[in-house]
Amino acid sequence: MTTQLYLITPPRIDASFAETLAEALSSGEVAALQIRLKDHAPDEIRQLAPPLIAIAQAHGVAAILNDDAELAAELGCDGVHLGQGDGGVKQARALLGKESTIGVTCHDSRHLAMLAGEAGADYVAFGAFFPTTTKAVTHQADIDLLKWWVEVFELPCVAIGGINLDNAAPLIAARADFIAVSSAVWQYPEGAAAAVIGFNALCAAR
């Protein structure tokens, strides 16, 4: 399976971001969009997220809300991404249904990833692999963890944390199912659409 691109929104956006998102998703293959609006209150997310969800779904991209399974269900998202303190997989599944996508942050831990798999997660996320300005890095994952996971388990894995066009190749070579990218797309000097094209090229070249 070719590594696929998993986009994460900036932590703070305004209404104009929807146009940027549409351009990015129209430019190449993207598997999922995580709506991660950390700098917005829930009521703001209720206003900002629906256009993003609609754009993602119109492009065949899974719309996944960060942290809050209840809000994900309310907004009609395709799934939720859970941190270690955001509730369990089974509770999220009960809220979102069996067809939803539920991912779990597992940092650099084989144990947490195996627990997530046993609980019924649809994917596990490892990281951070590189320094990132998106969030404080308290766990450093290495490529050997990715290699071990894909050799032993069929459950998809996401590599996350500081990934850009200059450092993504080793993660793709290690056969990560998805690479999660945020600022490397939205802050790319030539624009988000050009960044998506670049990541698609890297993934296809594996």
Q: What is the mean pLDDT of the chain?
A: 96
The pLDDT assigned to 132 comes to 76
The pLDDT assigned to 135 comes to 63
75, 107 in Cβ contact below 8 A? no
Helices (H), the chain: 17-26, 42-58, 69-75, 89-96, 110-119, 143-152, 169-173, 183-186, 192-204
To the nearest whole percent, how much of the chain has pLDDT over 70?
98
Among residues 190, 165, 191, 166, which one has the least CA distance to residue 5? 165
For 60-102, what is each residue's pLDDT tens digit? Answer: 999 999 999 999 999 999 999 999 988 899 999 999 999 999 9
For 160-178, what is each residue's pLDDT tens digit? Answer: 999 999 999 999 999 999 9
CA distance 24 to 35: 15
Q: What is the CATH number of domain 4-204?
A: 3.20.20.70
For 4-15, what is each residue's pLDDT tens digit? Answer: 999 999 999 999
Q: List Cα–Cα distances, 3 to 140, 157, 159, 170, in angstroms.
A: 21, 10, 10, 11
* Phi-psi domain of 135 (left: phi exceeds 0; alpha: psi -120 through 50; beta: other): beta
**If DSSP codes are grouped into helix, strand and coil, which group holds residue 90?**
helix
pTM (predicted TM-score): 0.96
Local confidence band at 131 (pLDDT 50, 70, 90 cut-offs): confident
pLDDT higher than 70, residue 136: no
Local confidence band at 206 (pLDDT 50, 70, 90 cut-offs): confident
For 92, the token pair is 């999220």
Would you call the peptide bond into 94 cis, given omega within 30 degrees of 0 as the criterion? Answer: no
